[in-house]
Amino acid sequence: MIELDQAAYSYGGGELLSDMTLSIAKGSFYFLTGPSGAGKTTLLKMCYADLVPTAGNVRLFGQNLRNMTRDDIATVRRRIGVVHQDCQFLDHLSVLENIALPLVVSGQDKLADRANLKELLAWVGLSKRANALPPELSGGERQRAALARAIILSPDVILADEPTGNVDWDMSQRLLQLLIELNKMGKTILIASHDLGLIRTAKSQVQARVLRIYNRRIQLAGANL
Amino acid sequence: MTSLAVLLRQVFSSDGHRDRVVPPTGYTSILTTATSGIMAFLTVFALALSFAADRLGERWSDALSDSATIRISASAQEQDAQVERVMEILTTTQGVKSARVLSDEEQRMILAPWFGTDLPIERLNIPRVIDVTLNGEDFSAKGLALRLRAEAPAAMLDDHGRWRMPLVKAANRLKVLGWVSMILIVVALVSMITLAARAALSANAQVIRVLRLIGAQDSYIATAFVRRFSVRAFVGAVVGTVFASLVLFLLPSAEDPAGILTGLRIQGVEWLWILVLPLFSMCIGFFATRRAALIVLGELT
């Protein structure tokens, strides 16, 4: 689904990531770890076509990122749900409208989807906050709303960038359970996180692999995390 | 016609979500509407000026174009013979429908503004005037003038072209000025909408980024802005056109003696042009915003 072939990314004259080769298969569960500034977010951005590698190739659903038009990228992004570190909401729209936005922009805003939307809100525990504006939400609520928006189109892949970075332990466990449930439904999950506790909890419940960015390169971490 | 219907549907069909993805812009939307209104107001006057100049040109062109005057200035002894000769020439001149010598009374009336009504015209050797009515395009003023010079040297032909043509030319220039003004107004409106659209797009770069991240295509994002600007241009143009039409309606008509510009008021089918103005402004808003949006979206990475 997502393939990196000797992909590298340079920024400001220095190489941030180099020689990244990786193949993420359907239904797999990956964690991406590494120290702050190692390039986790950059790698995720290449995985949802927000950045083009400066060397090597990235293929999303078989399409080379270099050959994709803007419309191709839009189409691919409908198959990839992204939970951003800073959530990225439209602050003038309600939580419900923000979550429904992917349906609207892809022209799937039908009544049946509206019913699903209410179910989804209940699933992430935001039924009572549907009409609130994003700035009125707590950190955990924002992350859950971002997760709901990321999965509203039932994407094949879910990428999450530090989804538990701004929430307490209880909320991080709850978010993790939501992601594990999605993986059990067949979704591919890639989470960038340096929360080792979270990774250990996940590994105890699901077959999760851990990738580590070290010295600009990616490596599969051992079992002794 | 089909593409106009598609355009109208895109602009006026209700799409609440698409309208709401771009945050409201407050007073800048009023500025866009107001500018469109002012431009429509000015366009109506430019159109009215152009139509009035056209009417004026036609009127001046038609006026006396089917008539000519022959003045015979000769001594008292020769005058009657010259008049008779000229009348003979006129009966054989192609394009002349009729000709008659003005009576003493008619000549007295013509001279009355300068000499009063008591002028003893029968005792003065005043030139005789022949009023010639023309029949169509076969008439050659140059040919008649040459013939008169040869056969009745005291006769002088005046086909009124000497003063009529400069007036017609002036009216035509006024008409061109009206159209040039309209073109300039359209250019100004396109520039204004393009600038406003670019500013709106740049101010909403974060909104555009979020929309792209969730899979919105550029055409979707562009349409959200296009709809907004097209509706503003349309509403402003409707208000400006209605207001300008009211002002024009209150102006003196061509028949009114106070109508110093012989009637700037729009007449008959000319009103159709006015009705089309708001739609034209909407089209300008649509295409100017769409072009600006696609350029800006191409620039934003």
Highest mean pLDDT (candidates A104-108, B24-28, B195-199, B235-239): B235-239
Q: What is the pLDDT of residue B154?
A: 87
pLDDT digits (tens, 9 = 90+) for A163-191: 887 777 887 888 888 889 889 999 999 99
Comparing C-alpha atoms, which of B154, B135, B147 is closest to residue B89? B147
Residue B235: count of CB within 10 angstroms of its CB? 19
B127 and B202 in a single domain? The answer is no
Nearest CA in chain B to A152: B214
CATH code assigned at B121: 3.30.70.100
Confidence check: pLDDT of B45 > 80: yes
Q: pLDDT class for B234, splitting at 50, 70, 90?
A: very high
**pLDDT exceeding 70 applies to what percent of chain A?**
95
User: B187: distance to nearest CA of chain A, Å?
Assistant: 31
- Subunit contact A77:B23, Cβ cutoff 8 A: no
Rounded mean pLDDT of A201-224? 83
Same-domain check for residues B270 and B135: no
Q: Do A102 and B214 touch (CB under 8 A)?
A: yes
ipTM above 0.90, yes or no: no
> How confident is the model at residue B115, as a pLDDT?
81
The distance of A170 to chain B (nearest Cα, Å) reads: 28
Token readout for B11 is 């602009």
Compute the distance between CA of residue B31 and CA of residue B41 in angstroms, rounded to an integer.
15
The Cα–Cα gap between A33 and A102 comes to 28
Does pLDDT of A196 surpass 90? no
Q: Tokens at residue A223, please?
A: 């079992």
The per-residue pLDDT for A108 is: 76
A-to-B residue pairs, Cβ atoms closer than 8 angstroms = 56
Residue B122 has pLDDT above 90, yes or no: no
Taking residues A102-110, report their average pLDDT.
Answer: 80
Cβ–Cβ contact B100 with A under 8 A: no
Count of CB atoms situated within 10 Å of the CB of B179: 14
| Token pair recorded at residue B200 | 């709106």
> What pLDDT does B2 receive?
57
Q: Does B73 share its domain with B184? A: no
Pair (B12, B73) in one structural domain: no
In sequence order, the β-bridge partners of residue A31 are A191, A210
- Based on the domain organization, do B44 and B113 belong to the same domain? no
Count the Cβ atoms, other than its own, within 10 Å of residue B161. Answer: 13
pLDDT of the residue at B6:
65
Last residue of a domain, one of B159, B193, B226: B159
Q: Give the separation between CA A144 and CA A173, rounded to whole angstroms.
A: 12
Q: Do A82 and B213 touch (CB under 8 A)?
A: yes
d(CA A214, CA A72): 32
Does position A151 have pLDDT exceeding 80, yes or no?
Answer: yes
Amino acid sitting at position B264: L
| Co-location of B209 and B261 in the same domain | yes
Nearest CA in chain A to B209: A88
Evaluate if residue B135 carries a pLDDT over 90: no
Q: In this prediction, what percent of chain B has a pLDDT beyond 90? A: 21
Q: Within this chain, do residues B142 and B189 fall inside the same structural domain, yes or no?
A: no
Q: Which B residues 11-70 touch A at CB under 8 Å?
A: 17-18, 20-21, 23-24
Give per-residue pLDDT as tens, A40-86.
999 999 999 999 999 999 999 999 999 999 899 999 999 999 998 87
Q: Is B220 on the interface with A (CB under 8 A)?
A: yes
What pLDDT was estimated at residue B253? 65
Return the pLDDT at B12: 63
Using the 3D structure, point to which of B124, B159, B194 is the last residue of a domain: B159
Quote the tokens at residue A111: 């009544």
How far apart are the CA of B4 and the nearest CA of chain A, in angstroms? 23
Structural domains of chain B, count:
2
B291–chain A Cβ distance below 8 A for any pair:
no
Residues B235 and B91 in one domain: no
Question: For residue B9, is pLDDT > 70?
Answer: no
Residue B222 confidence (pLDDT) above 60 = yes
Instruction: Tell me the pLDDT band of B11, cut-offs 50, 70 and 90.
Output: low
Residue range(s) defining the domain that contains residue B247: 2-61+165-299
Q: What is the pLDDT of residue B243?
A: 93
Identify which of A78, A92, A105 has the shortest CB distance to residue B23. A92
DSSP A85: T
Rounded-to-integer distance, Cα A193 and Cα A201, Å:
13
Same domain, residue pair B89 and B186: no
Q: Does one domain contain both B294 and B185?
A: yes
pLDDT attached to residue A78: 92
CB A51 within 8 A of CB A129: no
Q: Are residues B155 and B175 in the same domain?
A: no
Q: What is the pLDDT at residue A136?
A: 93
Single-letter amino acid code for the residue at B296 = V
Domain final residue pick, B125, B159, B193? B159
* Subunit contact B217:A105, Cβ cutoff 8 A: yes
For chain B, the average pLDDT equals 83
One domain for residues B8 and B90:
no
Q: Which of B102-106, B129-133, B161-165 has the highest mean pLDDT?
A: B129-133
Contacts of A74 in chain B (CB under 8 A): 212, 215-218
Contact assignment for A101 to B220 by CB distance below 8 Å: no
